[in-house]
Amino acid sequence: MLLKLKKKENDQINTEDLSAQLKDCSEKKNFYLLSIQAMLQFIKDFSLDLKEINSYEFKDEISRLSDKLTGETKLKKIQSSFEKGKKGIAAYISLQKKYLVDREGEFKDIIDILTNAMVNLDIDNFKNINDIHGHQIGDRVIMTFVNKCRQPIRGEDFFARYGGEEFVIILPGASLKNAVKKANHICKSVTSTRYRLDDDHDGQTLRVTISIGVSCHQKDDTTTSVIQRADKALYAAKHAGKNCVYAEKDVKGYSGRFFQPPTLKRHFLP
């Protein structure tokens, strides 16, 4: 920033004016830095935890960029470093978007081919697990959760990760009643499991719960409508307190994530 130095009549620099400009420069730098750091934290928080797209490495890179910016003393240096980091951020956002679009396309293809039930599963408060215990513990929780889900499903069933902590099971030929029954089994199995952290935690264990929404293919259904009904049921389960299963028939009239359905039926509550 160019400092315009005014001189008094005796050709001496006006120190009061200089002090005011320096303060203004510092405030601008601090505001700019605070804005960038808030944005970087937002990007980290809303990035999915997916090894397939190296999300952990990306979050580490964001942390390093934030630390580097904090250490800079000049506004132009902060701006220059951020401009260099923006390309990597944009590339990762595009990669994550493509990953989700590809997964959604795969699920739509399967639903189009098969008459089936769809089970959406989401690990409750998974972000808190990562934040408190670290990503390694989070990964171990997911691996154990995946094993729990695979035990009751058949060879022809399709099980996959849909997002960071969200999974989907496609049950070919299954009725809504049978799909709910299987969802209940998985929900109870996960809830009854205690996840041992590691030797450094003196035998401390972690309790994990999941929320599940279930829908079933109906006449004249589209791929989108099946997914939407399963999502609505999942949102209802989350809104009802988590750790439970909701079927599509129990959420008729449920129009959004934050609307409290008046007569929902909870299939499982320990």
CA atoms within 13 A on the CB side of 191: 18
* Three-class secondary structure of residue 49 per DSSP: coil
88 plus 140 within the same structural domain: no
Quick one: tokens of 156? 């022809």
Residue-level pLDDT at 200: 58
Round the average pLDDT of the chain to a whole number and report it: 77
Structure confidence by residue, pLDDT tens digits, 168-214: 999 988 888 889 999 999 999 998 888 777 655 566 788 899 999 99
Q: How many helices and strands (H and E) does the chain possess? A: 7, 7
- CA 247 distance to own-chain centroid: 23
Residue range 104-118: mean pLDDT, rounded: 70
38 plus 143 within the same structural domain: no
Residue-level pLDDT at 238: 92
Q: Domain count of the chain?
A: 2
d(CA 261, CA 244): 15
Question: Does 51 reside within a domain?
Answer: yes
176 plus 242 within the same structural domain: yes
Write out the residue range of the structural domain in which residue 179 sits. 114-250
134 plus 234 within the same structural domain: yes
Quick one: tokens of 196? 């041992």
Q: Label residue 111 by pLDDT band (50, 70, 90).
A: low
d(CA 82, CA 36): 8
157 plus 244 within the same structural domain: yes
Whole-number percent of the chain with pLDDT over 70: 78
The CA-atom distances, in angstroms, between 113 and each of 4, 110, 175, 220, 231 are: 72, 5, 16, 14, 20
Question: Does 104 reside within a domain?
Answer: no
Structure confidence by residue, pLDDT tens digits, 202-245: 667 888 999 999 999 887 888 788 889 999 999 999 999 999 99
Q: What is the CATH number of the domain that holds 215?
A: 3.30.70.270
pTM of the model: 0.57
Residue-level pLDDT at 269: 35
147 plus 57 within the same structural domain: no
- Look at residue 142 and tell me whether its pLDDT is greater than 50: yes
130 plus 63 within the same structural domain: no
Is 187 buried (19+), middle (13-18) or exposed (0-12) by CB count in 10 A? buried
Question: Does 174 reside within a domain?
Answer: yes
φ/ψ of 210, rounded to 5, equals: -135, 155
Extract long-range pairs of 99-102: CB within 8 Å, 24+ residues apart: 99/50, 99/52, 99/53, 100/48, 100/163
159 plus 48 within the same structural domain: no
Question: Does 255 reside within a domain?
Answer: no
* Three-class secondary structure of residue 158 per DSSP: strand
| Catalytic-residue membership of 165 | yes
126 plus 215 within the same structural domain: yes
68 plus 157 within the same structural domain: no
Whole-number percent of the chain with pLDDT over 90: 18
d(CA 193, CA 207): 7
Q: Which residue has the higher pLDDT, 265 or 202?
A: 202
The angle, 0 to 180 degrees and rounded to 10, between the axes of the packed helices 75-113 and 223-239 is 120
Of the residues 9, 57, 156, 165, only one is catalytic, namely 165
Q: Label residue 19 by pLDDT band (50, 70, 90).
A: low
119 plus 236 within the same structural domain: yes
Q: Label residue 270 by pLDDT band (50, 70, 90).
A: very low
Q: Label residue 95 by pLDDT band (50, 70, 90).
A: confident
- Look at residue 79 and tell me whether its pLDDT is greater than 70: yes
